[in-house]
Amino acid sequence: MIQTLLQLEKRHLWHPFTPMQAWCEEAHEPLMLVSGQGSYLKDQHGREYLDGNSSIWTNIHGHSHPTIHNAIRAQLEKISHTSFLGFTHEPAIQLGKALVDLLPGSALSRVFYSDNGSTAIESAIRMTLQYWKQNEHPERDTILAFDRAYHGDTLGAASVGGIPIFKGSGNDFGYRVVRVPNLEALDALSVDEVSRLAGVILEPLIQGSAGMRLWPKGMLKGLSQWCQQRDVFLILDEVMTGFGRTGSMFACQQEGVIPDFLCLAKGITGGYLPLAATLTTERVFEGFLGAGRAFYYGHSYTANQLGCAAALGSLQVFREEGTMETLSAKTASFTQHLETLREIPAVMDIRQCGLIAGVEIGPYAPELLMGVKACLAARKYGLLTRPVVDTIVLMPPLNISETELEAMFSAIRHAITEVIAQ
């Protein structure tokens, strides 16, 4: 049965970010994940693994949590999905209010739903460009982004679209992008360049796909002030950092910053179903009011009812289990465990933000794939995770226990020691 499935898999499927030649080789047996409970996942042979990267940064409270399952089940008894174009529904309304309430007193009062991190970002960028195009500053056609930033994979789809009204801002995505390395570089921009800026986009506190790179303390605050002084929109991509991962509910709260757009996805449903939200202000919302104006953008599964129910279930777990209150002790223990890895000579750098860490080994030539090898070795010791080049990502779900943390670090220590000995 398993062998038949895996033959079909190799014959018919195509995986993201995956060199498919090696994947399809006879000797490669893909890991098939069958079930999960708490911090653990089980494969086709019944072997268990700690979910060391929260199933690619999505899971928050562990797998098969009864509260989230019940929330999804209760919704399933009513209906799974209805269109959000021209209709509304209770789970979306309740969730919208709950999300806004997570940032009490902030100007973020409007919630636009989509399906994934990329579309949460795309919504914010299109809103930004369309806002300035139709209000006050049509010359503002440029988004400023940072070197090594990662904001998702979908923009290409819009650039080949052929229906002008679906292009919102009217330009042909390719919109203009200016890229800078850091906050200081903003001061080197010409007056002319700054006058064309519609928005600035940032992963606050830590850049994920860049290899868990930390911004200097105060960078976010400084950027927020820079944007406010020039009335340029600040778009924060909290697709990875949202929902407790960095120690606060949202990373922006650690520097007292409220952006013009807050993009949420991955952990929003606790990691159970695909859903995303782009939060913004009344000012932006009002810029789309008036005859004939609308935000011409949306997806078929926008505000999926099961997804909204799962997200409400996840927020319920935050309240009932006091998840946020458990984090500082957990993070302190995480830090201590990370420190012990510094004894391993190949560990070059350790970067941590809350329950997110990157353990960089090397220096190695990238083609040696040492990060990949270390993560493959970790499987033998009961840990699943993925590297970014030679940075091993450790991002456990927030429910992880002390015993599980110990198991995770024992596995990663064995794995690194093993591959560097070869």
Ligand X SMILES: *Cc1c(COP(=O)(O)O)cnc(C)c1O
Contacting positions for ligand X (CB under 6 A) = 57, 116-118, 121, 150-153, 203, 208, 237, 239-240, 265-266
Tokens 């009344």 belong to which residue? 282
- Within 10 A of 282 (CB to CB), how many other CB atoms are there? 11
Shortest distance in whole angstroms from residue 51 CB to ligand X: 16
Q: If we measure between CA atoms, which residue out of 281, 266, 274 comes closest to residue 308? A: 274
Helix axes 305-321, 90-101, angle to 10 degrees: 40
Residue of minimal Cβ distance to ligand X? 117
Residue 54 φ/ψ region, left for φ over 0, alpha for ψ in the -120 to 50 degree band, beta for the rest: left
Name the binding residues for pyridoxal 5'-phosphate.
117-118, 237, 299-300
Q: Is the peptide bond before 181 cis (omega within 30 degrees of 0)?
A: no
Of 50 and 202, the one with the shorter C-beta distance to ligand X is 202
The type of residue at 99 is: L
Of 75 and 116, the one with the shorter C-beta distance to ligand X is 116
Shortest distance in whole angstroms from residue 209 CB to ligand X: 6
Shortest distance in whole angstroms from residue 274 CB to ligand X: 7
Question: Cα–Cα distance between 277 and 262 in angstroms, integer?
Answer: 8
Q: Which residues contact 55 (CB under 8 A, 6 or more apart)?
A: 41, 63, 271
Name the binding residues for substrate.
150, 266, 298, 386
Q: If we measure between CA atoms, which residue out of 188, 182, 118 comes closest to residue 147? A: 182
Question: Cα–Cα distance between 367 and 44 in angstroms, integer?
Answer: 30
Shortest distance in whole angstroms from residue 66 CB to ligand X: 26
Of 240 and 252, the one with the shorter C-beta distance to ligand X is 240
Shortest distance in whole angstroms from residue 153 CB to ligand X: 6
Shortest distance in whole angstroms from residue 171 CB to ligand X: 22
Of 199 and 287, the one with the shorter C-beta distance to ligand X is 199
Q: Which residues contact 248 (CB under 8 A, 6 or more apart)?
A: 254, 324, 354
Question: Cα–Cα distance between 97 and 113 in angstroms, integer?
Answer: 13
